[in-house]
A = this chain, B = another copy of it.
Amino acid sequence: MSQKLIFSGVSRRTLLSALAVLPAFSGPLLPVLARAQTAASGGPLPSWNDGPSKQAIIDFVRATTDQGSPKFVPPEERIATFDQDGTLWVEHPIYSQVVYCLDRVSALVERKPELRKIEPFKTVLSGNREAVAKLSLHDLEAILVATLTGMPVDTFAAEAAKWLATAKHPRWNRLYTELVYQPMLEVLQFLRDNGYKTYIVTGGGQDFVRDYSQRVYGIPPEQVVGTMGGTKFGYDKNGKPFLTKEPKLLLNDDKAGKPEGIHLMIGRRPRAAFGNSDGDREMLEYTGSGDGARLMMLVLHDDAQREYAYGPARGLPDTKIGAFSQALDAEAKKNGWTVISMKSDWKRIFVFD
């Protein structure tokens, strides 16, 4: 039984050294809801600058929804998939869900005091960021398993919702759920307005993302494909049935796992797929290998001023998390995938800008 829940392709050092830049684990602060503001009057995609990226989206939607077009796609086949971290919301300096897991350790040891003196929980509780950054991948997996599994699914959902309503990103001092990209919310809405079913296809935990996907992205829980763990059906002492989250990995929804997860959960090949990193390569390849009109796009984070800049493609810094490699850039060019420049294609980054 593998316990690798989240971290395929991301090295321990990368992940943990990022912790050093976080000022503290998230504390309770006033909740502010992110609203998925949609296209205002004056045409679709108002937060996009005119250019090839905006045009590619508009051309694709027009061609696939015009009954007279040779590229027309019947409504039931209109499936669009979106990576989350780095494609729909901020993934730096570290994935929000990892911050959640570290934050949850103190609650965990209240339920299971015996863990207080056991590694790696002892180190996390020490608050010593240097020591946390030195934890092994095995240690980190133990933290994920302990904080994401072993409780009823309803308890997990309530705990995650509480955290999401208070925890803030250190750079903007805003809720993580506010740090969604306004231009991408517009793409989601534009596609839905044209009969597309929009799905999230993320390496993040499926149940975690489902907790906020509807209110943040307008995507219902049944349209979230993520890294999937097993559950176990049972009865409480009153005979009431409930499901417990098990430390059993069903599918690691990253890289090759993305098309596998799409087949499992959707059973159709997407018509459009959006990503931002090497973890999305196989999803875009799978999408692009179908017949007829297809749209494949990658968000390039080249805007250190308004968000972050990382590649290592095109000479951008190699920060590992969400890596957009030179090889991916070359494959995009070869296959005709569109690379979105955050810096030049997007007028606004966030809903609150």
Mark A residues whose CB is within 8 Å of B.
76, 79, 153, 197, 206-207, 210, 214, 220-222, 224, 228, 230-233, 240-243, 250-251, 256-257, 259-260, 263-268, 282, 285-286, 289
Contacts and interface: CB of A to CB of B under 8 A. Distances in A.
Contact of A231 (B214, B231, B232, B264): B264
Nearest to A242: B289
A221 B76 CA distance: 10
A264 B256 CA distance: 19
Contacts of A232: 256, 260
Contacts of A259: 233, 241, 243
A114 B295 CA distance: 44
A220 B214 CA distance: 21
A336 to B, nearest CB: 15
B263 A243 contact: yes
Contacts of A153: 263
Across the A-B interface, the 9 shortest Cβ-Cβ residue pairs: A221-B267, A233-B256, A222-B266, A241-B285, A210-B267, A231-B260, A233-B259, A241-B289, A241-B286
A230 B34 CA distance: 36
A154 to B, nearest CB: 9
5 contacts: A197-B222, A222-B265, A231-B264, A241-B285, A241-B286
Contacts of A260: 230-233, 243
Contacts of A251: 230, 250
B289 A240 contact: yes
Given A228-B264, A231-B263, 19 more contacts: A76-B214, A76-B220, A79-B222, A197-B222, A206-B264, A206-B267, A207-B267, A210-B267, A222-B266, A230-B251, A232-B260, A233-B260, A233-B282, A241-B286, A243-B259, A243-B260, A243-B263, A250-B250, A250-B251
